[in-house]
Structure 1
Amino acid sequence: MLDRLAKRFGSRFGADKIVGGETFSQAIPLIKQLNYEGLQVTVDHLGEFVNSEKEARERTQECIESIQAIAHHQLNSEISLKLTSLGLDISQNVVLDNMELILEEAKQYGITVTIDMEDSSRSGTTLEIYKTLKNRYSNLGTVIQSYLYRSDEDIDDLHAYDPYLRLVKGAYKESGKVAFVDKPMVDENLKRLIEKNVLNGHYTAIGSHDDAIIEFTKNLAKKHNISKDQFEFQMLYGMRNQTQQKLINEGYTVRVYLPYGEDWYGYFMRRLAERPANIAFAIKGIFKK
């Protein structure tokens, strides 16, 4: 049923509401409009799990060209990427070589690159690669997911690297052996991670549409006299638009996560398949103000 619905309504519901276009060129006018509205952006070229070095290099080149376009058009945008799209499942040497090409280009233009976090089986390797690269590139961030038991220790381990972290609840379906299964526990852990990373003095992106998490962060900043330029809120494109604008009006930095690419249908269906709760989340987020 989901397959039929996505194919029937996908072009409108998916591309128009969730994805910025099939190519970066198509996304440029939208990024300009978001910037005009006071929103910053991070773009993500859709696609995961490549199994050939040739395809991994093609994805690398796409990232490089996006960086060049961001600079050329003077867009207020970072880029996000998944290591599996750059060869993580082939070898660490392949993904490290490709990341270095991307980071060298991004460094030239002062553009930040964030490594998205994938499922728990790849978390450890992803963070080891992050630490290896962070020693050489300051323009690099990554993601920590609060539903994983390991995340609190990961925050401690990353402290010495002055990390730029996007803190999120997490969207993958995970076993109770590695992750909290109760939403209240995930929420409370996210609050703990936000507090720890912010008070450690590291720039923090709070990736959440949850009003309670947003209010917690605002109150934390007031309580500890933390400047608004030490953190930002991040939300998916097309979700909580009025909330985004309200936060901007209050002087907070808001960044929109904007995916693009021909694989929008696969992206959308995988998110639903990984976690059925994502269906209600997507619909609620689009229509909630």
Structure 2
Amino acid sequence: MRALLLYLARREGFKDFALKFPVLQRTAWRFVAGETLDDAVRAVKEVNGLKMSGTLDLLGENTLSLEDARNATREIVGILDRIHAEKIACNVSVKLTQLGLALETENCLSNLSAIVRHARDRQNFVRVDMEDSAFTQKTIDIVRQVHREMDNVGAVIQAYLYRSENDVRLLLEDGIRIRLCKGAYLEPPSVAFRKKRDTDANFVRLMKLMLESGLYHAIATHDEAMIDATAEFAASKRILRDGFEFQMLYGVRRDLQQRLARDGYKVRVYIPYGRRWYPYFMRRLAERPANIVFILRNFLRG
């Protein structure tokens, strides 16, 4: 089922069929703040009211033209201006294929540099999301290049990839802040762990490397075993609760998000929005089979 959902996530044409079923879009709004920036800002303010920060993601990956990439760049710059004007606790997350990575590397580099430079002028931070393994090396190369000039940019590492320990060590040498997650794309066994226990073991190993570096990193997970392992390791090394942050997805385990915030941990909520919500939504379904049951129940009722 997971493989099927991840396959469908890459098929934008299936979205038109899916939208014939209102229950699917209603379920999507559990994970997506809405289609407009106003929707997203409202979600950030709600999160801020619960003593958590946000990171905004303008949905839309794999742009088809350089003009689309330039438009996405301008829109993300506008998001940074809105964050600054509203004085909300929030940064931005971007995907490099949205900025033209699959089309032209130099153009993508220019677009990301413009965003990071604008964020620096607004005293803000840009997190570069990691996509599927075909883009891992280029993404790391571009982040490192931009970071040499501006340090308000960070990377994402996926624990299910075999290569990730080497990537973490390289990024730490450069002083680059990392978000660690498990990984949500369908990858072949030649590049990624297939078993959860192997991914979990690597996650813990990478988490320890990161936290011991002294940099401010993000641990992105809803897995309570991984959260407990992080909290226990931080305590054992006398790392303060505000010396790193947990990150979680909008609409997922809000109870856990709020409990961690009440316990004194820094929590940041990943808040996606935009008209191109379909691929993101399908990846969330693939991660949580319980959401499929929810859809089927509502479909049968109505």
Give the TM-score normalised by structure 1.
Answer: 0.92
Which residues in structure 2 correspond to 1:139-288 (within 5 Å)? 139-269=152-282, 271=283, 277-280=286-289
Distance 1:134 1:283 in 2: 40
Instruction: Measure, in 1, the Cα distance between the counterparts of 2:186 and 2:213.
Output: 30
CA distance in 2 between partners of 1:37 and 1:113 (Å): 23
**Secondary structure in 2 matching 1:41:** strand
Map residues 106-117 of structure 1 onto 2, 5 A cutoff. Answer: 106-117=119-130
Tell whether the 8 Å contact from 2:43 to 2:271 is kept in structure 1 after alignment: no
Identity of aligned residues (%): 39
Tell me if the contact between 1:208 and 1:235 (Cα under 8 Å) persists in the aligned partners: yes
Secondary structure of the structure 2 residue equivalent to 1:206: strand
Structure 1: any 5+ residue segments left out of the alignment?
Answer: none
* Mapping of residues 109-148 of structure 1, within 5 Å: 109-148=122-161
Q: Give the partner amino acid of 1:145.
A: Q
Q: What do residues 31-55 of structure 1 show as CA deviations (whole Å, max 9, x unaligned)? A: 1111011110001000011121110
- Paired amino acid for 1:154: D
Distance change in 2, residues 1:116/1:284 (3 Å): farther
CA–CA distance in structure 1, aligned partners of residues 134 and 253 of structure 2: 31
Does the alignment pair 1:93 with 2:106? Answer: yes
Q: Which has the higher contact order (CA 8 A, sep 6+)?
A: 2
Counterpart secondary structure, 1:222: helix
| Structure 1 residues 179 and 78: CA distance shift in structure 2, 3 A | same
Match of 1:61 in 2: 74
Q: Distance in 2 between matches of 1:278 and 1:228?
A: 28
Aligned residues: 280
Q: Give the drift of 1:282.
A: 5.0
User: What do residues 15-41 of structure 1 show as CA deviations (whole Å, max 9, x unaligned)?
Assistant: 2x1111101122112211110111100
Q: Secondary structure at the match of 1:228?
A: coil
The runs of 4+ residues in structure 1 deviating greater than 3 Å are 1-7, 281-285
Conservation of the 8 A alpha-carbon contact between 2:132 and 2:185: yes
Asked whether the 8 Å contact 1:43–1:257 carries over to 2, the reply is yes
- For 1:21, the aligned partner's letter is G
Deviation string, structure 1 residues 122-172 (Cα, Å, up to 9, x no partner): 100100001001111111111000000000011111122111111000000
What is the alpha-carbon distance in structure 2 between the residues aligned to residue 197 and residue 205 of structure 1? 9
Q: Does the 8 Å contact 1:194/1:204 carry over to 2? A: no
Q: Is the 8 A contact 2:48 2:89 kept in 1?
A: yes
Are residues 1:10 and 2:27 paired?
no
Instruction: Give CA-to-partner distance per residue, 1:65-92, whole Å, 9 cap, x none.
Output: 0000000000100100100000101111
Q: CA deviation at 1:6?
A: 5.8
Q: Hey, what's the Cα distance between the residues in 2 that align with 1:121 and 1:13? A: 30
User: Aligned with 1:256: secondary structure?
Assistant: strand
1-structure distance, mates of 2:230, 2:290: 21
For the pair 1:77 / 2:90, whether they are aligned, the reply is yes
Is the CA contact (8 Å cut-off) linking 1:50 and 1:87 kept in structure 2?
yes
Change (3 A) 1:6 1:234: farther
User: SS of the residue aligned with 1:132?
Assistant: helix
Question: What is the aligned partner in structure 2 of residue 102 from structure 1?
Answer: 115
Contact 1:169-1:208 within 8 A present in 2 as well = yes
Distance in 2 of aligned mates of 1:106 and 1:284: 41
RMSD: 1.9
Paired amino acid for 1:60 = T
Structure 2: runs of 5+ lacking an equivalent? 6-13, 295-302
Change in Cα spacing, 1:173 to 1:281, as seen in structure 2 (3 Å) is: farther
1:17-28 to 2 correspondences below 5 Å = 17-28=30-41
